[in-house]
Amino acid sequence: MQKSRQIDTIMDYIRAEYGAEPEFLWPERYPSYAVFRHRENRKWFALVATISSKSLGMKDDKLIDVVNLKFDKSQTYDFAETSDHIFPAYHMNKNNWITVWLDGALSDELIFGLIEKSFALSAQ
């Protein structure tokens, strides 16, 4: 399976900026799922994965790369409603997490800012 350029960019950014290495917790069942955690408290701040687009409510059924990020729960739904590339979280608490579709439509810089916010929110 071919990963998107953007998922590689995001993973490289997280390694360089936060010193976090991906953890592949479910290699047999979900080999594309990589968790990034804080070193101190071991809380997740990002999950990258390849999922079915239907999981996000899309009509087609294709494999897409995404990143799940912790987000301010007062803004999660608002943000998800303003972008066709940001959704209430796939497979996580939709009040506290968002899923960002990594197909290049959103700039790396915007996603880096969301990762920064996720890192800060999960540091506590």
Instruction: Band the pLDDT of 1: cuts 50, 70, 90.
Output: very low
From the list 43, 100, 4, the residue with the least C-alpha distance to 12 is 4
Rounded mean pLDDT of 106-115? 94
What residues make up the domain containing 29? 5-121
The pLDDT of residue 70 is 92
- CATH number of the domain that 66 lies in? 3.90.1150.30
User: What gap in Å lies between CA 34 and CA 9, rounded to an integer?
Assistant: 14
Distance between CA atoms of residues 8 and 4, nearest Å: 7
- Report the mean per-residue pLDDT for the chain: 87
Residues 9-26 have a mean pLDDT of 96
pLDDT surpassing 80 at residue 101? yes
Tally of domains in the chain: 1
